Amino acid sequence: MKITGHQAITGWEELSKTIQEKIKSLNVKKTVVVLDTYHGVYLDEILAGLAIRKTKATVFEVSKAYLDTEKLEELLYPFVTDDPVFGFVTTLDLSAFFDTEKVAAMQKDIQEMQEGTILVAGTGAALVVPDADILIYADMPRWEIQLRFRKNKINNLGADNADEAFSYQYKRAFFVDWKICDHHKKTLMNHWDFVIDTTIENHPKMVTGAAMTNALAKTIEQPFRVVPFFDPGPWGGQWLKEVVDLDRTAQNYAWGFDCVPEENSLVFDFEGVHFEIPSINLIFTHPARLLGKEVYDAFGAEFPIRFDFLDTMEGGNLSLQVHPMHQYIKEKFGMGYTQNESYYFLDAKDDGFVYLGLKENINPEQTLGELKTAQEGEADFDADKFVQKWPVKKHDHILIPAGTVHCSGADTVVLEISATPFIFTFKLWDWGRMGLDGKPRPISLEHGKNNIQWNRTTEWAKKHLINQVENIASGNGWREERTGLDAESFIETRRHWFTKKVEHNTEGIVNVLNLISGREVIVESPSDAFEPFIIHYAETFIVPASVGAYTITPHGESAGHECATIKASIRTNNLKEDYKIN
C-alpha cells in the first residue's frame, strides 16, 4: 500500500543520524531514549548498528532487570504446562517479568545521571522508564519470529533457550510471550516517536510515529491484503507452487496463510521503501472501524475470521483430528471461543475425498482402544473402519463444527475458513509418519476423546455438513448462495457467481473474501472512496467494516467470463453471551 507524504529512512547510518538530530533538537543536558522491542527482535543488531553511542550514550539493557530464570520459569509454568502442544493463555502482563529491586536500582542509576544521552533498551523498556524523552519501538511479525526459532537464533522472552525444540518455543510464545508483548505494545502505539522495521536482518528501516499512524489510518479506509506466508509439511502438496508461483525447488507447501492477521504482516510503500509491520497493529489501533462495533464489542481487538490453504495435491492425508468444544477450550486453555471451521475445496482430483463424521453404530471404546494401540506403535489405525469417507470435487463446501472427527485426503486443495483459535487441533491419528524434523508429530488423544461428538455420524453429516447450499438472490449476471457455516458458528459464508458487476456492502461488519474462480477481478468504491483494487485467483482480501459499499467486477482476462468469490462475515445475531470475550 502506497503512503504519500512520509519517507522511510534506511540503513543504520541514516537511522542514527535522524535519532541524533532528534536528540539535538530537544536542547537539554540529559536525554533519555527508550528503545522498546517486540519479542524476537535482534537487540544486539540494533545496539551495534545505532551510532547513538557516539554521542557518549550510556546503555541500559532492561533484560538485566528481569526475574532470575528459575523464578521466571516457576511463574510461567501454569501457562506453559507440561502438555507437549498446548498451554493456557497467560493472565500476566509484562511487569511480572521484572524484579522490582533490580528495576528500582536501574531507575536510580538513570535518575542520578545529570547529563548526556541515556539509551534504555529491550522488551519492556518503557515500563522501566515510562516518561522517556524519545520513544522508539522495534516491531517484529510473528512469522519471522517462528523462522528465527527454527534457526535457533532467538530465545523465549526472559529465557536462555535458543537451542530448545521449536515446538516448545512456539507454545510458550503463543500462550505467554506474544500475549504479553501485544498487551504492552498497545499501550505504546499512541506515543511512538519512531518505529523500526528489522524484519530483514541488517536492512533496518525507520519511520516516524506520525507516518505509521497515517499509514494505519489509510489502510482502514479501503480493502487490503495482508502478506501471505507458506510453509511445508509432511503431507504437503504441489498446487500452491504453481498457482501462487512459489519456489519450485521446495519439497512442498502444506499451508498457505493468507488471512491470519495475528501472524501475517502489512507492507507499506513509503515512497519506494517497503516497510513491514505485524498486521495485528491495525486491529489494535482501529478495532471498531475494522471489525464493526458489534463485532468489536463481542471479540475485542481480535480478528475472529481466518482463511488459509491446505494443499495435499500429490501429497498425503492430513491428520485425523477433532477440534475442542467451546466450553472445553475456555476451561482448559483460556481461549474465548473455539475453532468451528469449514473446508472449501478449491481443487480436487477425481479420487479426492474427505473423512467427515463417524460411521453408524460404532463402539466408542473400541475406536479409542484402536487409536491408543496405533499411538503406541503396535498397529496402524484403520480409519475407514470407523470414519465416514466422502468423495469431494471442486467447489464442494464441507462444514466442520467443533467436536466432529475429520481429515482432508490427498490430492485436494482446501480453502479453510474458520474461527481464529488456530493451533487447537487434536490429532487422533497421523498415519504413522514423521514430521519434517524426523520426529513423531504429537498425538492429543486424551484431549480428543474428551471432545469427540459420537452422534456426528454418517446420516447426521450428510444432512447437516455437506454442501448446505441455499440460493439467496440473483440478478442480471450474478447469483448469491449461502453455503454455511453450521448453525453453531458465528461465521456466515456467501458465494457469488458473476459475469458482471456485483454490489456488496459490509453493513458495518468486516468482510473477508477469496476469489475462488476466475483469473482476476477489480474491487471498486461506488463513490470513489478508495482506489480500485485488483484481486487475482485464490487471493484473500479484507474489507473493513467502515468501507460500507463496494463492488466486484470480472477484470482483465476474466472480463465477460464467470468468476466467483466466497465471502465470510460475522453473524452478529448468533453471538451468544458465552462467546463474548471482550
Find out whether 508 and 293 touch, Cβ atoms under 8 Å: yes
Do 411 and 302 share a structural domain? yes
pLDDT tens column, 285-340: 999 999 999 999 999 999 999 999 999 999 999 999 999 999 999 999 999 888 89
CATH number reported for the structural domain that contains residue 499 in this entry: 2.60.120.10
Q: What is the pLDDT of residue 578?
A: 54
The answer to the question of residue 92 being in a domain is: yes
Indicate the range of 28-37, 479-488, 537-546 predicted with least confidence: 479-488
Do 130 and 38 share a structural domain? yes
Do 344 and 313 share a structural domain? yes
Rounded Cα distance between 566 and 517, Å, is 9
Do 64 and 149 share a structural domain? yes
Amino acid residing at 211: A
Q: How far is CA 103 from CA 63, 107, 118, 287, 464, in A?
A: 10, 6, 16, 33, 58
Do 358 and 234 share a structural domain? yes
Q: What is the DSSP letter of 180?
A: H
Return the C-alpha cell found at 557. Answer: 482476462
The total number of structural domains in the chain stands at 3
CATH number reported for the structural domain that contains residue 13 in this entry: 3.40.50.300
Rounded Cα distance between 371 and 452, Å, is 13
Rounded Cα distance between 80 and 168, Å, is 9
Indicate the range of 74-78, 194-198, 257-261, 386-390 predicted with least confidence: 257-261
Rounded Cα distance between 547 and 218, Å, is 11
pLDDT tens column, 334-354: 998 888 999 999 999 999 999
The answer to the question of residue 567 being in a domain is: yes
The answer to the question of residue 297 being in a domain is: yes
- Decide if pLDDT at 54 tops 60: no
User: β-strand 30-37 against 116-121: which pairing, if any?
Assistant: parallel
Do 256 and 178 share a structural domain? no
The answer to the question of residue 153 being in a domain is: yes
The answer to the question of residue 187 being in a domain is: yes
Strand (E) or helix (H) holding 505:
strand 502-505
Average pLDDT of the residues of the chain: 94
Q: Which of 464, 494, 524 is the last residue of a domain?
A: 464
pLDDT tens column, 136-161: 999 999 999 999 999 999 999 999 99
Exposure letters 489-523 (e unless 16+ CB within 10 A, then b): bbbbbbbbbbbebbebebebbbbbbbbbbbebbbb
Q: What percent of the chain has pLDDT over 70?
A: 98
Do 396 and 324 share a structural domain? yes
Q: How far is CA 101 from CA 107, 120, 145, in A?
A: 10, 17, 31
User: β-strand 9-10 against 205-208: which pairing, if any?
Assistant: antiparallel
- Confidence class for position 573, pLDDT limits 50, 70, 90: confident
- Decide if pLDDT at 456 tops 60: yes
Q: What is the pLDDT of residue 582?
A: 43
- Decide if pLDDT at 450 tops 50: yes
Rounded Cα distance between 410 and 313, Å, is 6
The answer to the question of residue 243 being in a domain is: yes
Q: What is the pLDDT of residue 579?
A: 53
Q: Which of 219, 251, 278 is the last residue of a domain?
A: 219
Do 434 and 498 share a structural domain? no
In 3D space, the residue among 444, 403, 402 whose CA is nearest the CA of residue 426 turns out to be 444
- Domain that residue 215 falls in: 2-219
Indicate the range of 19-23, 264-268, 480-484, 574-578 predicted with least confidence: 574-578
Do 499 and 378 share a structural domain? no
Amino acid residing at 383: A
Do 172 and 293 share a structural domain? no
The answer to the question of residue 274 being in a domain is: no
Task: Output the pTM of the full model.
Answer: 0.95
| Mean pLDDT confidence for 244-263 | 93
Exposure letters 124-163 (e unless 16+ CB within 10 A, then b): bbbbbbeebbbbbbbbbbbbbbbebbeeeebbbbbbebee
| Mean pLDDT confidence for 9-30 | 94
Q: What is the pLDDT of residue 185?
A: 98
Q: What is the pLDDT of residue 55?
A: 55
Q: What is the pLDDT of residue 25?
A: 95
Do 158 and 63 share a structural domain? yes
The answer to the question of residue 117 being in a domain is: yes
Find out whether 310 and 239 touch, Cβ atoms under 8 Å: no
Indicate the range of 203-207, 374-378, 437-441 predicted with least confidence: 437-441
The dihedral sign for the CA sequence 81, 84, 86, 92: positive
- Confidence class for position 273, pLDDT limits 50, 70, 90: very high
Do 563 and 430 share a structural domain? no
